[in-house]
Structure 1
Amino acid sequence: MSWADLHARTDILHVVLDRAARSDFELNPADPKLFDDIPELQRLFGGPDGVLLALRNRWENHLTVKMENAMEKGVLAIEVYAELCAEQPALRAILDTYDTDRLYFGRPRARALAS
């Protein structure tokens, strides 16, 4: 993957997150049009499922780092989860709307933390 493709992928993720977050936009995370009319989405991600996997990976990475830091300070996991939800509400809303467990793990899994 070229640097140009990497930056284009990041831009696409930002477009999707921005669309989900904007109250003046006609879309919301549950609207399948969330992924419509985004140039290069199909080529760079293979479709909306690829975008969802990338967003899930972003969430998992952020949560892992926060959890590692919290363990050193004795902070509860649920507090870390709630903090990340507050920091990234559009990302959490998208992940709560779509079955990313199916995509990420190949099957649904029981959720360890409730939102």
Structure 2
Amino acid sequence: MSWKDLHARTDILHAVLDRAARSDFELNPTDPKLFDNLPELERLFGGPDGVLLALRHRWDNHLNVKLDHALAQGKSAVDVYLELSAEQPALRAILDIYDTAHHHRSPRTRAMAS
């Protein structure tokens, strides 16, 4: 993957997170427009499910780093999870709706069924 592609992937992830957090989405990550009109999404991620996998990976990385630091400070895993959820509400909201570990239908199908 080129640097250009890496930056384009990052831009897509930021766009999805920004859309989920904007007031016109009213923190509603189920809006099927969450993944619309994002240039190169299909090529770089293979579709919305690839974006969701990347967002899940991002969450897991942040959580693991926070857990490593928290254990040394005597914090519980629940406290760390809640802290990260408060820091990244759009990411958490997207994953709560489209959790790739627990759902097998495509994001659009799940969103339209809601």
Q: TM-score, normalised by structure 2?
A: 0.85
State the structure with bigger RCO (CA 8 A, min sep 6), 1 or 2: 2
TM-score of the superposition, structure 1-length normalised? 0.85
In structure 2, the gaps of 5 or more residues are 105-114
RMSD after superposition: 1.7
Secondary structure of 1:38 counterpart: coil
Residues 10-33 of structure 1: CA distance to partner in whole angstroms, max 9, x if unpaired? 000000000000013478201122
Going by fraction, where is helix more abundant, 1 or 2? Answer: 2
Task: Give the distance between the partners of 2:26 and 2:62, measured in 1 at CA.
Answer: 28
Letter in 2 for 1:30: T
Give the distance between the partners of 2:101 and 2:42, measured in 1 at CA: 21
Identity across the alignment (%): 75
Q: Which moved more, 1:77-86 or 1:93-102?
A: 93-102
Aligned residue-pair number: 104
In structure 2, the residue matched to 1:32 is 32
In 2, Cα distance between equivalents of 1:36 and 1:93: 18
Which of structure 1's runs of 4+ aligned residues deviate more than 6 A?
none
**Stretches of structure 1 lacking an aligned partner (at least 5 in a row):** 107-115
Q: Is the 8 A contact 1:27 1:33 kept in 2?
A: no
Instruction: Say if 1:63 and 1:84, in contact at 8 Å, map to a contact too.
Output: yes
